[in-house]
Structures are given as structure tokens and as C-alpha cells.
Amino acid sequence: MIYGITGKIGSGKDLATYFIKDYFDITIDVDKIGKYFFEEKKFEIYKKIRVKNKEDLVKEVFKSKKCMEKLEKILHPYMKTFVKKICKRIEKFICNGQIYKRNILINCALLHKLKFDKICDKIIIIDSDKKIRLDRLIKNRNLNYEDALLRVEYHEKYHFLNEKNMNRFLKFRKDKKKNILKNKKYIIIYNNSSKEELEKQVKEVIYGRIW
């Protein structure tokens, strides 16, 4: 079975992934794959977006949707092909004549934009309030307020998981006993409290089979 885990910047999806990774046979970190292909293609990217270095690139792509689209147009085809090949090769295995499925976790901020939602059986969405995500970026990534706000605001406007898209595409039912929303494929965990609470919730989803 293939699970996806996603969330806007600062939501805590990487921490949630850490808490449940032992359940899965393999965890695919798409952000790391993106960084690999960025290093392979960075000079092509700098030329296309007309910047001299990574620092300038980051500022441009979070200020301009067009610049972000140019970056994604170069990197995303490589990322999609790579991840889909991995999943296809390792999802099934044969033992004593029986076909078994491995449990795979795809950790990806842009899960829907890269269309990995199409290959996932279940998807966990980690969400947090905007102010909390902003504070986390400042504290955990050593960003100043302006740089952190730039990233958060971009995700608020253009990320698949913005409020407009969530209401439009997904219909959830609320679990009154837990701070979650869910349907047959998706579950939303709200990470507005402590790390311990996030660990408890995400493990209940995986080990307790809340769906």
C-alpha cells in the first residue's frame, strides 16, 4: 500500500514522517530528490530565471509565481519519473510463490502538484495555523520574519491545500473524539499543539487504522 503525507511549509509533515517511518518498508523523501535534481540542473535554472545564485533564486521564486513555474517546469518531470519508477519497482515482491505488497510512504509537500495523489491509496495531510507555521520557520529554519512570511504567504495563495481548494475538492467528516477530519482516502491532522500530541495522533492513524 502506498501512503502519501503532505502539508504546507511549516506544518510539521517531516516530523510526522519521522514518527511513523518505522511502519513502512521504505520512505521516499521527495524534497531530497528535488534537491538532488536541483544540483544537477542549477546552472540551467539560474540562466532561465536570470539569477546568479541559490539565495537570489529563492527570493525570486517565492515572490513571483511565474519564476516558480519556470523552476518547477525544469525539476518536476525528473522528480515525477524518479518517484514513480521507485514505486513501480518495489511496491510488489514475490515470496514462496506469493505476491506481497510493500508499505511505501511518500513524503512530499507538493504531492498533488506532482500528481502523486493518483498513486497513493491513503493520504495524510498535516495542517497548522498560519501564525504557528510562521513561528516554526523563524525558530527551526533560522529565517528572519520577512523571509518566513514570504514562504508562508506563497503557500497560502498557491498550495493545493489552501482553504479554497480544500473546501472545493475534499469532503470530510469530523471525528469528534480526535482533532482530525477524514474521508475514505484523506485524513487531516491538525498540528497546533505539542510534538507529543502530533506523535500520538499520527501513530493512531497508522497503527490504530482510524480510517
More confident residue, 24 or 176: 24
pTM score, two decimals?
0.88
Cβ density class 49-71: b for 16+ within 10 Å, e for less:
bebeeeeebeebbbeeeebbebb
Contact call for residues 10 and 134 (beta carbons, < 8 A) = yes
Is a pLDDT exceeding 90 seen at residue 126? Answer: yes
Q: Provide CB contacts within 8 A for 34, sequence distance 6+.
A: 75, 79
pLDDT digits (tens, 9 = 90+) for 66-107: 999 999 999 999 999 999 999 988 888 777 777 778 999 999
pLDDT digits (tens, 9 = 90+) for 129-182: 999 999 999 999 989 999 999 999 988 888 877 766 666 656 666 654 555 666
